[in-house]
Amino acid sequence: MAMRADDLIDRRRLRRKLTFWRVTAFVILAAALIAFSAWIYGDDFTGQAIDHIAKVKIEGTITEDEELIKRLETIRKSATVKGVILSIDSPGGTTVGGESIYEEVRKLAADKPVVAEVGTLAASAGYMIASAADHIVARKTSIVGSIGVLIQYPDVSGLMDKLGIKLEEVKSSPLKAAPSPFKPTNDDERAMVRKLILDSYDWFVGIVAERRKMTREQAQALADGSIFTGRQALANHLVDAVGGEPE
């Protein structure tokens, strides 16, 4: 059945109205999404480079942390990062983990100012990493120090005797796989481990002396494993100021 001219005109008007309101609704929705994204992401949503201070948290037991090292490298290469705060709260960890992060922080400090902010604790490898910064700030009651190296291993030989368990072994040399938790450590084994510890300890003391501008004798006097409050650490020149992020 043929459509009347009036019906055709009315239908076209209705289509135009529907198209107008659809476009209007789309524009409103797009504007709302942009406003919401700007609220969530802040100025970064505009795509403009914003100069800023980066804050990196180093917490818990320190191990070889590839993700952290890559993050520090990215920060070092960023033109918009003008300085870095290392927020440290760690009891320490492995010597290799501390060494790798220390070296990455030193690379970073060669390009940008780096400050270490000590929370509750920066001990052992935690303090090693803090010493890589240009400036160290700690709370008055923070715990700082424990400069030294430690190797611990269990001796379950007494338990094995009670359970009637014996260990047999064939070794290429007496010090292979020593010390072992399955038998008491002898003098030669303890001497070997002590040499290993003293070598790493010598390196750690050298770092403290260099970074804190001390003589080796001054650094060694503080490197007996002692821990210090933030106030004591300031008096001993292990930190530069007491306070928090504002300082």
Query: Which residues form the catalytic set?
Result: 124, 176
- Ramachandran quadrant class, 60 (left: phi over 0; alpha: psi -120 to 50; beta: rest): left
Q: Look up tokens 């180093």; give the residue.
A: 58
Cβ neighbourhood burial of 235 (10 Å; 0-12, 13-18, 19+): exposed
DSSP character at residue 16: H
In the chain, count H helices and then E strands: 8, 7
Which residues are CB-contacts of 98 (< 8 A; sequence separation ≥ 6)? Answer: 62, 92, 124, 125, 126, 128, 129
Phi (first) and psi of residue 214, to 5 degrees? -115, 165
Cβ neighbourhood burial of 120 (10 Å; 0-12, 13-18, 19+): middle
CA dihedral 114, 68, 91, 82 (to 10 degrees): 10
Angle at the Cα of 120 (from 114 to 121), degrees rounded to 5?
Answer: 70
